[in-house]
Amino acid sequence: MYLRWMIRNDNRGVDFGIWKTIPPSILSCPIDIHSGNVARKLGLLKRKQNDSKAVIELDIYLRSLDKQDPVKYDFALFGLGVFEKF
pLDDT per residue as tens digits for the range 67-78: 999 999 998 999
For residue 13, the model assigns a pLDDT of 78
Q: Is the pLDDT assigned to residue 85 strictly greater than 90?
A: no
Q: What is the mean pLDDT of residues 43-68?
A: 97
Per-residue buried b or exposed e for 18-45, using 16+ beta carbons within 10 Å of the residue's own CB: eeeeeebeebbbbbeebbbbbbbeeebb
For residue 57, the model assigns a pLDDT of 98
**Average pLDDT score, the chain:** 94
Kindly indicate the confidence band of residue 45, based on its pLDDT and cuts at 50, 70 and 90: very high
- Residues 6 or more apart whose CB falls under 8 angstroms from that of 12 comprise none
Q: Give the residue ranges of DSSP H helices in 17-73.
A: 33-41, 52-65
For residue 25, the model assigns a pLDDT of 97
From CA 69, how far away is CA 85, in angstroms rounded? Answer: 25
